Every structure is written in C-alpha cells, then in structure tokens.
Amino acid sequence: MRPATRNWVQTRAGDRCEYCRFHQSHEPFYRFHVEHIIAEVHGGTDGLGNLALACHHCNERKGTNLSGIDPVTGRIVRLYDPRRQSWGRHFRFNGPVVVGRTQLGRATVAVLAMNASDRVELRSELIAEGVFFEPAWPS
C-alpha cells in the first residue's frame, strides 16, 4: 500500500481504530492496520471507500469476515462498515465496555471480541488516567 494512502486513512480516522476506538497511542507496540472492510478475497478493492484503520486486535479477529451472529437473536447479520454506517447508531460505551445497540453492533462486538478481558482492562486503566474518551465522530 502506498504511504500516501495509509496516511490518508490514518488521518481520516484520527489515529483511532474505527471499530473499537482505541487511539494508536494507547497501543504503542502495534502499528494499526489499514484494513479492507470487504476483503480482497470477496472482491473488495484498495479504494479509499473500502479501507479503514483498525487496531491489531480488531483486524486480527475480523479477518475476511463479512458477517457474524447476533448473540441476542441468533440471526446472521453483516458486520459494521465504518464507511457506510454511523458508529453511534450501532455502538455505545458503558464505561470501558462496548455495547452493541443493534443486531449489527452486537454481532460486530462478538466477532471482534471488543470486550475481551484485556481490552476492557486497558480501557478501564485509560479512563482512570483520563486519556480514554469517546471522540466526536462524524456520522
């Protein structure tokens, strides 16, 4: 990937994972990934409309997945698409825990393991230090 493309995606995301909203500075040992929302294996392109900034944790768990199972309804639903959907419509924070507001949000939280114990613990520590907050993101 061209450095200019990476820089553009990183700037657009404000150096935050577009899924769990960790800031790059919160995870200094892993460089965030520019990931394909729709994986190339499924016909996704390198176009800016198909790229998102993702932390190592979210990107590793998302992989080539396009859908997941909503743990409440048991229905198969698409995963969150940061280019086409509003984060605030599908997710919210309850302290250090990411809560899925919709079927899509719940399935994404489950597939990406956004509330794995180490992630919740890190968010708790960052909240206590006053450095983790919910940024204002465009819809």
Q: Please report, in angstroms and rounded to a whole number, the separation of the first and last CA atoms in the chain.
A: 27
Chain segment 89-112, per-residue pLDDT in tens: 999 999 999 999 999 999 999 999
What pTM did the predictor assign?
Answer: 0.92
What is the model's pLDDT at position 28?
Answer: 85
Nearest residue to 48 (alpha-carbon basis) of 79, 84, 22, 77: 84
The pLDDT of residue 104 is: 98
Q: Per residue in 38-49, pLDDT tens?
A: 999 999 999 999
Q: How confident is the model at residue 2 (pLDDT cuts 50, 70, 90)?
A: confident
Q: Among residues 62, 48, 58, 44, which one has the least CA distance to residue 16?
A: 58
Which of 103, 80, 84 is CA-nearest to residue 20? 80
Query: What is the Cα 93 distance to its own chain's centre?
Result: 13
pLDDT digits 0-9 by tens, 64-75: 999 999 999 999
Q: Per-residue confidence at 138, pLDDT binned at 50, 70, 90?
A: very low
Q: With beta carbons less than 8 A apart as the criterion, state whether 132 and 93 touch.
A: no
